[in-house]
Structure formats: structure tokens, C-alpha cells
Amino acid sequence: MTDQIREQVSALLDGELPQGEIGLLVRRMERDPELRRAFGSYSLIGELLRAPGGHTARPSFASRVSEAIAAPEQQPAAGVAKVPERAFWKRPGFATAIAASAALAAIVLVRPDAQHRNAIVASQTAAEALGALPLAGATSPTPAQSQRLASYLVAHSQFSSALGRHNVWSGLLADDPGLTRVSFDMSDAP
């Protein structure tokens, strides 16, 4: 990625990218995973600012993000447990930024077709980074296992809400490493 592109991304975040360049950069982002990752990293600094007490991104920010990505997260306990107060809907952006992985997305779009009276287009500059959910003992599934999992998901999605269906389908469509995270844990065998 060139310095010029980096400068454009920064300007996009600042809302200072000329209107004529926005569409080009967005299309480039849609094609270029590295560019999206870079954009996500830039955006994370902004997300940190939303945290209570957060004013600047420290020099160690990048390494802390990397550590957060690498660190295994706790799976919810099997029993009933109250949700702790530090939920993301109470402090938007904070947990998100700290647990950041490669993410992603804040994009500005131009109106592609002014004839569409109801077109919803414009600018948006929030970024979201998401926490990892690693599984111990992960191994690659066989094609049959992957296919079977996909079949379960498609069958299940027919009974999901529209919102849930879009989430399930999106996960299924993504070239998702989640499909390879099939774990085998004999200790759970009945």
C-alpha cells in the first residue's frame, strides 16, 4: 500500500477526502483486504478515544492489540451467570477496540444513482473490531464435515429471524476460518 493511499485513508477518516475520490477509494477497499485492515487499524485509534479516560493512543497500542488478538478468551460458563456491567452496549467502542483483530469498516460512499429517491448513501466513520473466539484442539474438517455443517446452517437459517438469517448466511459465505475450527474434545463425551 502506497503512502498516497494511506493519506487517502486518513483523509477519509477525517472527512476530508474530496467527494470525487471517495467512490474510488471505497471500491478499492472492497477489493483489497490489506487496505481494509489498514483502515480498521486507523479506525481503532478513534475507537479508543471513545473509552472513558482515553485521550490518546499510546505507542504500545499496536502491540496491545496484537496481544489481545492472540490471547484466548473465556467461553461462557455452562451454568447461569449474570452479564457483567462492562458490556459493549454500555461503553460502545471500548471493549471492541481492545479486543480488536483485523477489522475493518468505515466507509464513505457517494450516491451512485441520484434517481433513486430513497437511496441511503453517505458517510460513516465508525470502526468495529471484534474479539476472537478460539477453540482448543481445533483441526481442519474434512470436506464432508464442512458440507454437513453448511447443511445444518442452511436448514437452521430458515427459522432464524431475518437479522439472524443474514448473520448466519454471511458467516457461511465468508471464506471463514471458522469452518476449520472444528474441535474434538473427548472429555465432553457422554
Q: Return the residues of window 12-41 that contact other proteins according to CB under 8 A.
A: 13-16, 26, 30-31, 33, 36-37, 40
Whole-angstrom distance, CA of residue 53 vs CA of residue 88: 16
99 near other proteins, rule: CB under 8 A: yes
Instruction: Report how many residues bind other proteins under the rule CB under 8 A.
Output: 115
C-alpha cell at 113: 444513482
3-state secondary structure of 63: helix
Which of positions 111-170 make contact with other proteins (CB under 8 A)? Answer: 112-113, 116, 118-126, 128-133, 135, 141, 143-164, 166-170
C-alpha cell at 73: 478468551
Query: Least distance in Å: CB of 21 to other proteins?
Result: 16
88 near other proteins, rule: CB under 8 A: yes
Whole-angstrom distance, CA of residue 98 vs CA of residue 164: 26
Residue (21 or 169) nearer to other proteins, CB: 169
CA-based end-to-end distance of the chain: 52
Per-residue binding string, other proteins, 40-69, x by CB under 8 A, is x-x--xx--xx----xxx------------
Whole-angstrom distance, CA of residue 58 vs CA of residue 71: 20
